[in-house]
Amino acid sequence: MTQALAAAGCDTTLLLKSPVRTDRLVAPLVGLPDVTVRRPYEESLARDLGPRGLTPEQAIELITTLDGRQRFDLIVVRGKRLASVAAHTDALKGRLWTYLTDVPQNVPDLSVTAVTELTDIALASRFLLCQTEELRGFLESAVPAACGKSVLFPPTVVVPDGLTASGTAHAPLKLVYTGKFAQAWNTLEMTELPAALAARGTPAELHMIGDKIHRDSPEWAKQMGKALENTPGVVWHGGRPRAEALELSAQCDIGLSWRAPELDASLELSTKVLELGALGLPVVLNRTPMHESLLGADYPLFADGDLDAVADTIALAADPDTYRTAARRCAEASARFTLDRAAERLRSYLGLAFPPRPEGTDAALPLKVVIAGHDLKFFTRLADHLISLPGLEVRLDEWEGLRTHDQYRSRELAAWADVVICEWCGPNALFYAQHKRPGQRLLVRLHRFELYAEWPRKLDIDKVDAIICVSPYYADLTRELAGWPADKVVVVPNWVDVEQLARPKLPGAEYTLGMIGIAPSRKRLDRGLDVLAELRKRDPRYTLAIKTKQPWDYWWIWNRPEERDYYERAYRRIQRSEALSEGVVFDPFGPDVAVWLRRVGFMLSTSDDESFHLAPAECAASGGVPVVLGWPGADTIYSRRWVHESTEAMADAVHAIVTEGRFDAARDAARAEITENYSLRGVSHAWTRLIVAGEHPEPVRLENVGGALTQP
């Protein structure tokens, strides 16, 4: 992490936990430009230091002290206990980049206490760094506060230039294990491999590098020590500096990462596996979904079973073709985890956390911006971006209800602000228009909800500098119904966090349709069922996943007889149809949309009307395909290739894309379209220019040719 941060352009301070007894780990960092290693014990940075290193409380106290002398822009912490203490330190909140490894990784271990602790950590962190997509998905599904903050930071492999294995197996076969010795890592069983291989006519020796023996079981630790020292065919090198350990490993033929079955569910990826692969060594490891994703399901050196099965697998590597195939797979996988890749990833996150100062602003005299509204959930990520911008000072006026607010605070903010943004064209917009000062600019974002209400008719449009709508169709409708000057109505589309949503699809995603939110009835669940029914006539693998609150969760919907009757009929239809009852899955509503979308290949939009409808765009950003019924204005948001005239045409388009092998081409085209037009970065920039300079954004330009049946 220290090397990657330095490579990404950060002036990095590394605070050590314990006294330096060997420079094996520290030596590669000493002398690196822009890296400072702080040694609490040697420098006497704190009092009452115990022999086992800093406690989490001492570490955070020391970080806070160092921060007071030289304020850090970001603070990377690793370890749940340390992160928990940091999360409850007000001075550090918002600057924490928390690297999560030692967290519960299965449902039984995920207690209420653990969820609460992880929620506190997520709320206090700018980013949660996760080793794998599996860990990120599990975390977001269990801890809603982690959604939108969880980013990938896989293990980083740093191998000395020019250091590679020979590329061929030798006789005797040299096996290598490097790392800690522990029961779950099968290190004691590994010492039996030379004898097991000799019995199969494959001479072998095992090289073991490391000096840390876990002593959870004193008896096991004693056996491990004896096996290292006395087992024929086992060469124990003890603890070595990292560079030496890599050199010794490169002289061997096959790496070992064979572990106990209880670790198969781990959501972490072994750095040792990647290091050995980077050297050009094939690695024997357990068959798990994560390892299959890394190396391919047909990787020849998966270890399935006990010692004998592992010995049989290793014996296969004596075949030159098998050896070369396994070594190539491991090398190709490791190439995705280099220091350069890690630094590139960090630079992307740094760009999000520390955007440049907008042109036309002055850091010494920031532009004062107020964001006011009763419900800011649709504006949260934009607000986060504006708050992070140097040259802007942003304050929130969060109203308790549509009409309820602290009038004294609102008046104070109205007198203070250079620019006011009203989220919703409601009583908040009327208030700030009434209290607008000369020279102040007022921006009002109007949603479908307010368009037919009383407030737009009461708004003094002369006091408003811009009315913001999310789609061209609703902008035209707003001009028509409100009678406002055309040049005051601006289109700034909804944003899509393409970087958060871009995750690998799960196998079979092309057969899963999706719908997000089916209430009220104008969302037209019945049409989605029509599409599914037509597709299941052709292939029973098609299913419909619906992520939603249920209609009875909304009192204002369920209390209306016509709404209740609609859903009773729709659910009765699902229940009584064999095709539908086995093909519809309801998933709970929640912010873990990015995780859920991994299994969805096509997103249906079957509504009577929409102001924008974000779900198809989110699906496209995730690597899926929008399937949109032609509601009014749909073709001003999505290219016509994704817009269809009927549910039959929607089903035809889906089935053609799947059966003609065009799923990858279609989803690539959809993702490119959404990224170009609606990415969070792009929309945030449009809002910034509107706020800072009053610049109206360029209209979205769609390639409106053909339909979904046309080759994208």
Chain segment 284-323, per-residue pLDDT in tens: 999 998 999 999 999 999 987 889 999 999 998 888 999 9
Dihedrals phi, psi of 468, to nearest 5 degrees: -105, 125
β-pair partners for 444: 422, 467
Predicted confidence at residue 267, as pLDDT, reads 84
Predicted confidence at residue 264, as pLDDT, reads 87
Dihedrals phi, psi of 53, to nearest 5 degrees: 100, 175
CB 521 within 8 A of CB 567: yes
Which is more confident, 711 or 215? 215
Rounded-to-integer distance, Cα 590 and Cα 575, Å: 25
Amino acid at 92: L
- Say what the pTM is: 0.89
The residues, any chain, with a CB within 8 Å of residue 67's CB and separated by 6 or more, are 75, 91, 92
Rounded-to-integer distance, Cα 101 and Cα 156, Å: 14
Q: What is the mean pLDDT of residues 492-504?
A: 96
Q: In the predicted model, what is the mean pLDDT of the chain?
A: 94
Q: Is the pLDDT of residue 342 over 90?
A: yes
Q: What is the pLDDT of residues 448-488, one digit of tens each?
A: 889 889 999 999 999 999 999 999 999 999 999 999 999 99
Q: What is the mean pLDDT of residues 590-611?
A: 96
Predicted confidence at residue 709, as pLDDT, reads 41
- Can you spell out the DSSP letters for 237-301? EES--HHHHHHHHHTSSEEEE---GGGTT--S--HHHHHHHHTT--EEEE--HHHHHHH-TT-TT
Q: Is the pLDDT of residue 710 over 50?
A: no
Q: How far apart, in Å, are the Cα atoms of 58 and each of 50, 62, 403?
A: 10, 6, 48
Token digits of residue 291:
């390892």
Amino acid at 435: H
Percent of the chain surpassing pLDDT 70:
99
